């Protein structure tokens, strides 16, 4: 499978580990003024709620057949929101595909948010 340029750029920003039976993909980004972290979490929950089990206690956790992902909001030292994504998947290509889908939603929100 050939990766697109966007996938390659995105994968340079992640850390990938393997602990049997899951590949763990860690990715984080700081929110820009254009969008709120809660908007991002709401869009993710809405996209996955119809087909997969979604939990929204202190964070957003979505379970799917090959694994799950967990998204949390935290504040950095400058009090800016930071989104942390952890993807646990049994196959690395599917984990990368999930990461790309989550990043696509992030980019859509940035593109269409009022500034």
Contact (Cβ atoms closer than 8 angstroms) between residue 34 and residue 113:
yes
Domain residue limits at 58 = 12-112
- pLDDT, tens digit, 9 for 90 and up, residues 2-52: 444 557 777 788 999 999 999 999 998 876 555 666 777 888 888 888 888
Amino acid 31: pLDDT:
62
Measured CA to CA in angstroms, residue 105 lies from 13, 17, 23, 69 at distances of 17, 24, 22, 15
Could you tell me if residue 96 is inside a domain? yes
Gap between the Cα atoms of 17 and 38, Å rounded: 28
Q: How many CA atoms lie within 13 A of 65 on its CB side?
A: 2
- Count of domains observed in the chain: 1
- Give the domain CATH number at 26: 3.30.310.50
Residue 7 lies in a domain: no
**Is residue 1 included in any domain, yes or no?**
no
* pLDDT tens track for 48-99: 888 888 888 778 999 999 999 999 887 777 777 788 999 999 999 999 999 9
Q: Is residue 51 part of a domain?
A: yes
């Amino acid at each position: 499978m050939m990766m697109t340029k966007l996938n390659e750029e995105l994968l340079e920003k992640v850390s990938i580990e393997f602990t049997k039976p899951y590949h763990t993909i860690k990715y984080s980004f700081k929110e820009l003024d254009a969008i709120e972290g809660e908007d991002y979490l709401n869009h993710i929950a809405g996209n996955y709620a119809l087909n997969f089990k979604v939990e929204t206690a202190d964070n957003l956790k979505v379970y799917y057949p090959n694994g799950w992902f967990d998204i949390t909001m935290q504040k950095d030292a400058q009090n800016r929101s930071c989104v942390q994504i952890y993807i646990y998947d049994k196959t690395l290509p599917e984990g990368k595909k999930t990461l790309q889908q989550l990043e696509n939603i992030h980019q859509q929100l940035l593109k269409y948010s009022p500034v």
